[in-house]
Amino acid sequence: MEIRYFGRNKIYLQGKKEGVWINPEKSDLEQKQRPARIVIFTRKEANFITLGEEGEKVIITGAGEYEIGGVEINGINGMYSLMIDKVKVLLTGRQEGELSEKKKEKLEEADVLLVFMNEKAIELAKGTAANYIIPVDFEENETEFHKFMDEFDKEDLAAIDSLKVDSDNLPEGKEVILLKSQA
């Protein structure tokens, strides 16, 4: 599975069989080089696709359990857990308030944590057992992003274009990865 970041919380996941767009813009869905049948919006109001216009795409905007083309998705109030190619990816969304036990459980199960930059980012990253921790949506939250990178002693971390994750070759411990915005 490969993860690419397109800035401002837009993420593309490419598995062996399915592609997943998270918070795309309309132009992203029209690109042939990044096809996706699964589209997730972390905020319902960001969904620009109206009923009847989705075609073959499956649009997810809230809580629930889904299974599309071998990709398992579990939405829990703004947090999404995805199982793609035997890799469990957790997208935190904009977390507010205390974490429920179910969300804490998902943090412990993740292989990859895509963490939105806000005041909860450090707490979420430290509470996970994920092998890869990837900050997202940091362009608008520079203060929180710098605190986050400083906390993990990664202030000078070089950004990479994409991250390829194989369930058989996960690193020992936690690695913070910075993805270059492809925008």
The answer to whether 96 and 103 are in contact (CB under 8 A) is: no
**What gap in Å lies between CA 137 and CA 9, rounded to an integer?**
4
Report pLDDT for 109.
86
Domain spanning 2-176: CATH 3.60.15.10:
yes
The answer to whether 18 and 34 are in contact (CB under 8 A) is: no
Domain ranges of the chain: 2-176
What are the structure tokens assigned to 93, written together?
Answer: 């969304």
pTM for the model: 0.89
Report pLDDT for 162.
96
Reading the chain (183 residues) residue by residue, the pLDDT tens digits are 999 999 888 999 999 999 999 999 888 887 788 888 899 988 766 666 765 556 788 888 888 999 999 999 998 877 899 999 999 999 987 665 566 677 777 788 899 999 988 888 888 899 888 999 999 988 888 889 999 999 999 989 999 999 999 999 999 989 999 999 986
